[in-house]
Every structure is written in C-alpha cells, then in structure tokens.
Structure 1
Amino acid sequence: MTDPTEKTSSDPEGASELFKELTTPSRRNFLRTMGISGMAAATAPVWAQAAQLAPIDDSEKPLAKGEQRITLKVNGQPHTLNVPGNAVLLDVLRDRLKLTGTKKGCDHGQCGACTLHINGQPVNSCLSLAAMHQGDEITTIEGLERNGQLHPIQEAFWAHDAFQCGYCTSGQMMTAAAIIKDPNIGADDASVREAMSGNICRCGAYKNILAAVQDARGKVQGAS
C-alpha cells in the first residue's frame, strides 16, 4: 500500500508535502486560535474567523419579554446585545459572540475552564450575569494575542507542553496571565500552585503548567 505522504515521481507538484502540511496539527496555531472554534480554527479560513469577531448591534431590534439591552466591551470590541436578564456571561460569549475559547466545564465555578478577565482580574464567567458587566473591560482567551504576537503565557505553554487535551488550557492561561504580573506570587512554586488552585487539569499536566507560569512570570517581571 502506498504511503500517501511519500513523494513520488507521480507527484511532480509536491502534493504529498501539501497533504502533510494540512494534516499536521500546529501547536502554535492551537494556542493562537483555540478560542475561536477549538483545534479546527487552526485551519479555518481567515474571513470566517473575522466574521465571528465582527461587532453585534441589536439596537434596532425590539426587546422581547424579559430582555434588556446591554453593551459589552469584549477584547476591545463593543457589542450591543438584547439578552434575558438572567443570561450568564459565559453563555452570551459562546452563543451570541461565538467566542468559544472560554469553555463551559462544571458550570458551577469549581473547575476554572471558563476563566476570563474582567477589568484585568480573573473571573469565573459561568457564575456571572452578562447584565452585570455593562462598561467593563472583558478579555477572553481570543484577546490575549496582540497584533499577531502571542502573549508570553501562550508562548510559555507552547514551549513547556503545558497542555494535553486542551479543554482547561484557556482558563489556565487566563488565570496565569493575571497572576504573573503580581510580584507577591511566584517567588516560590507553592504560591503559584495556590494562585492556580481554582483551575483543574483533569489530564494532570500540573508540572508543566507550573513550569510555564514560572517561565512567563520571569520574562514579564524581568521586562518591567
């Protein structure tokens, strides 16, 4: 049986090389775009990704019974949304804005998979109502990368293989991105473990996560 990745004389245009390129997962792209639609986002068309990040404006739509109009500023982009008063922030981000990097894990604030930043502080979005965050600065995993440059914590997770299945990774990185700026956390590994204790990794990648956090912390605080 012929190996489909083997280049032969019948493959003058290098089709086998293209096959390998398209079917080899990119760990860097995983960290950059995991929040848009998981691993599949690494190969998603650029236009499709851009469409998912376009601002939403419900201001011309009539409010349904029980709805209220709010404006959420997410990753620097304002969105005007008609949402039920009891709409959970996590669900609004995932279902309305299609920012699916923030994961729904336990849905009880116990696993940390849904962690994002509200005004720079890590928050479990499954426990927070969307209507509470009018005017707040909300940052999701999709917002860590700036101008094509990965955040130091994303670079560190990549370098230290600090993920396995990846489901908890976005929440781990959002908590880590907040604590690496705190000079009171990280002088010893125990303080990092304590600060990260709200984020559960069911694969047990804690050793590598700790190494990644300490690496990023050293680089961020060293550059300050």
Structure 2
Amino acid sequence: MRRTLRDNGLGIAFGLLFLAMLVGQAFAGQAQYNEQQTATGAEPVSIGRYVTSSPFAVDVVENWQSEYLQFFLYIFGTVWLVQRGSSESKEVDKTGVESDEEQMVGVHARPDSPPWARAGDWRTAVYARSLGLVMGAIFLVSWLAQSVAGQAAYNAEQLGNREDPISWVGYLGAADFWSRTLQNWQSEMLAVGSMAVLAIYLRQRGSPESKPVGAAHGDTSATG
C-alpha cells in the first residue's frame, strides 16, 4: 500500500484535491444560490437539489472544457512551436513529429514499448496522437455539456424574469454562452503562455516543470 501511494502520489493527491474542491464549490454555490433565491422571494434549495441543478452543472463543466482545451492546444502546439530557454518547450531545432527512430515506433520500438507503438500500421498512427485526441474529445464533450446546462440555467432565469426561453441553437449565439466560454479561455491562454515564458528565467528546485537551478536562461527543454 505504501509503495502504491508513493508511485501514484501525484495522481492520488490531485484526485483528492479535485474532490475536496468540488465539494467545497457545491456548498459555496448552494449558499450563493440560496441567497439569490431568498432575495427574489423564492424557496431555498437543499444541497442535493442544487448539485443536480443546471446552475451547478454549467459552473462545473465550463471550467472543465477550458482546462481540456488548454491541454489539447498545448499538446499539439508544442509539436511545432518552441520557446527558446523554456523547460516547457522542445529544443528549437526539433520541431515537428520527429523520426520513427526518435519516437521508438514500428521497427524501432523497444521490447517494453506499448503494443500499438510496435504495430507500425494505423494503430501506431492513432496511438501516436492518442493523448491529444482524447484531450480534444473531452474538451468537446465538456463544451457540449456546458451549452446544454447553460441553456437550461439561462432559460430558468428567463422564465423567472417573465421572458421567453430560447432554443439550444439560439443559446449558442447568445452573449451568455460566449461570455462564460471566453472568460475561461482567456485565463487558460494567459496561464499557459506565462508558464512557458517564466520558466525561462525562474526555477523550482526538484520540479520537472523547471530547469535545474543552475541552468542557463538559454537552455531549452532541460528539466530539473
């Protein structure tokens, strides 16, 4: 058990943090929602009813979709784009998908390589892009979920204001949908860009996200 926890500490720690923060968001969101309910003369709702409501769902998935968009763009973007001096970048002369030998696929695979990496056919082509494809798929599913939950939440507010609800297609063109979407996207792009640039000059000892403390600012793709 101790070895399992050690070997999987990063995933377990962030999984527990995710659950703790999701629970915290649920209770904080319920409190805020009930304040609005009381202010308008409506009945407050229980935590169970709140976590199954469209306001809670849209608040959760709108963050998920932006995070997975960040990973999707970063995974594919760093194939071709570089940042000299950053530990987040490949070396500047290694842009592109690299050779089969460098990637250890097909006849260049090792005995312990994944089976699809050794296949050398369409399976290798799919597996070679599987991380980005899955991140992109999760982004699209989360964005779709955001649009559905967002429409439900928006229409509930419209009906509460004695205004007409709108269709799902109509909501896709609504300011509410794009305001929710773009406020998350811009923050993710800022975070990724600043991480790539700050990693040129700043260090975190022992972290693979940082260069070694004594590495020159111009060293690229080095990790500590």
Q: Of Structure 1 and Structure 2, which has the larger fraction of its residues in helix?
A: 2
Q: Of Structure 1 and Structure 2, which has the larger fraction of its residues in strand?
A: 1
Report the structure number with the largest CA radius of gyration.
2
Structure 1 length-normalised TM: 0.23
Structure 2 length-normalised TM: 0.23
Q: Which has the higher contact order (CA 8 A, sep 6+)?
A: 2
